[in-house]
């Protein structure tokens, strides 16, 4: 009988997906504030500190903005921000804004900084996500990234961080072009365990800044404020990425034809692995402590096992799997 009749197709890939777990960003939607400034921030003015916007600050002399529906000083509020466009918050009432452009300096960049609720865990994979909406300034870019720091970054002598290499960056094809809605930016990062602060912005200098090629005017001749682009930011999030549970094959055919000859399980996402396989009488016939388990249908002494049902137990530092395998030669 055709062996394919017995074979279930198992593609054993450890994929990663974000789980709803600990949120590492403090006040990711900018809703926790004491008051709202309601205008473009002046150079060196930390509008987040002034507004009591929990968790947020500026890391450099450049002046990022905070927009909210009930300002107490200025009259600029969503949905219409003068010179930048019409936009409502993605969630809640508030959001931030950064300029990527010259503002009198070739590498002028604005950034926002967040004090994480918890330090990142060494070797853990994380998903960093936030939403951007492009202002009406014609130019845009894909060069928006993140940089982690152990301590709060504070340098009031510079307008840019283009001498730093970002830890992760927006996808090269993901130009921020949406002026009506919000465009998701997502990136993955493997932590080293020293991360307590995150800075968001563009770390590319003017020579390496990739511009969206259509309708882009960096001279200001179209009457817009200085700059390459203005971007609204909302709903910043950092969450752990967990591996999906491994798929464990329940049938294999070790007849040396090169197809499905080995019972293989990939537990490489775990630090410790112990696998034991027993026959129907409870006798131990195979053991492995490798992260990639491979059983060729023979006992540890090299004797071919008979066709039939065998039972496995796989234990890791966090999980235990039990089940049966059908061996068909």
Confidence of residue 8 (pLDDT cuts 50, 70, 90): very low
C-alpha span between 162 and 111 (Å, rounded): 11
Contacts of 113 (CB under 8 A, 6+ apart): 56, 57, 58, 59, 152, 153, 197, 198, 199, 200
Contacts of 306 (CB under 8 A, 6+ apart): 327
Higher pLDDT, 178 or 60: 60
C-alpha span between 6 and 328 (Å, rounded): 8
**Is residue 109 within 8 Å of residue 162, measured between CB atoms?**
yes
pLDDT value at residue 6: 39
For 264-293, what is the mean pLDDT?
93
Confidence of residue 3 (pLDDT cuts 50, 70, 90): very low
pLDDT value at residue 261: 95
Residue 267 phi, psi dihedral angles, 5° rounding: -115, 35
User: Which of 8-22, 91-105, 307-321 has the weakest average pLDDT?
Assistant: 8-22
Higher pLDDT, 257 or 73: 257
User: Which of 103-117, 178-192, 274-288 has the weakest average pLDDT?
Assistant: 103-117
Inter-residue long-range contacts of 76-83, CB under 8 Å, 24+ positions, other chains counted: 76/38, 76/39, 76/40, 77/36, 77/38, 81/135, 81/232, 83/135, 83/136, 83/137, 83/224, 83/225, 83/230
Contacts of 200 (CB under 8 A, 6+ apart): 98, 111, 112, 113, 114, 130, 144, 145, 146, 233, 236
Structure tokens that stand for 239 in this block: 């969450």
C-alpha span between 135 and 83 (Å, rounded): 8
pLDDT value at residue 53: 96
pLDDT value at residue 303: 93
What are residue 98's DSSP bridge partners? 231
Confidence of residue 236 (pLDDT cuts 50, 70, 90): very high
Helix (H) or strand (E) segment spanning residue 294: strand 292-295
Stated pTM of the model: 0.71
Domains of the chain plus CATH, in order, are: 16-242 (2.60.120.260), 245-327 (2.60.40.3080)
Confidence of residue 223 (pLDDT cuts 50, 70, 90): very low
**Is residue 255 within 8 Å of residue 329, measured between CB atoms?**
yes
In tens, the pLDDT along 182-217 reads 999 999 999 999 999 999 999 988 777 766 644 555
Please name which of 76, 328, 116, 321 lies closest in space to residue 236, comparing C-alpha atoms.
Answer: 116
In tens, the pLDDT along 71-85 reads 765 556 676 676 677
pLDDT value at residue 114: 98
Structure tokens that stand for 45 in this block: 């003015």
Within the chain, where are the H helices? 47-51
C-alpha span between 126 and 120 (Å, rounded): 9
In tens, the pLDDT along 295-309 reads 999 998 999 999 999
CA 247 to each of CA 7, 313, 321: distance values in angstroms, whole numbers, following the listed order = 14, 14, 11
pLDDT value at residue 224: 42
Higher pLDDT, 281 or 71: 281
Q: Is 181 helix (H, G, I), strand (E, B) or coil?
A: coil
> What mean pLDDT, rounded, does the chain reach?
85
pLDDT value at residue 211: 64
For 224-239, what is the mean pLDDT?
81
In tens, the pLDDT along 118-148 reads 999 988 889 999 999 988 776 778 889 999 9
């Amino acid at each position: 009988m055709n062996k394919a009749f017995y074979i279930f197709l198992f593609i054993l890939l450890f994929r990663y997906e974000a789980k709803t777990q600990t949120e590492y960003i403090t006040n990711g939607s900018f809703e926790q504030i004491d008051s709202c400034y309601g205008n473009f921030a002046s150079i060196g003015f930390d509008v987040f500190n002034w507004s009591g916007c929990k968790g947020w600050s500026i890391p450099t002399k450049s002046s990022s903005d905070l927009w909210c529906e009930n300002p107490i000083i200025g009259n600029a509020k969503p949905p219409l921000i003068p010179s930048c466009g019409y936009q409502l918050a993605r969630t809640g009432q508030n959001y931030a804004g950064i300029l990527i452009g010259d503002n009198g300096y070739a590498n002028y960049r604005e950034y926002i900084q967040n004090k994480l609720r918890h330090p990142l865990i060494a070797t853990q994979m994380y998903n960093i996500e936030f939403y951007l909406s492009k202002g009406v300034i014609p130019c845009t870019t894909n060069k928006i990234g993140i940089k982690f720091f152990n301590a709060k970054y504070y340098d009031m002598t510079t307008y840019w961080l283009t001498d730093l290499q970002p830890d992760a960056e927006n996808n090269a094809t993901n130009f921020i072009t949406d002026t009506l809605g919000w465009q998701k930016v997502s990136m993955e990062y493997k932590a080293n365990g020293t991360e307590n602060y995150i800075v968001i912005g563009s770390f590319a200098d003017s020579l390496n800044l990739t511009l969206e090629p259509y309708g882009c005017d960096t001279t200001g001749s179209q009457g817009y404020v200085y700059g390459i682009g203005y971007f609204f930011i909302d709903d910043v999030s950092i969450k752990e990425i967990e591996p999906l549970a491994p798929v464990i094959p329940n049938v294999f055919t070790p007849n040396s034809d090169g197809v499905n000859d080995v019972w293989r399980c990939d537990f490489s996402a775990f630090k410790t692995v112990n696998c034991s396989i027993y026959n129907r009488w409870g006798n131990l016939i195979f053991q492995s402590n490798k992260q990639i388990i491979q059983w060729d249908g023979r006992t540890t002494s090299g004797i071919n096992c008979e066709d039939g049902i065998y039972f496995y137990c796989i234990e890791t530092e966090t999980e235990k799997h039990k089940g049966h395998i059908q061996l068909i030669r």
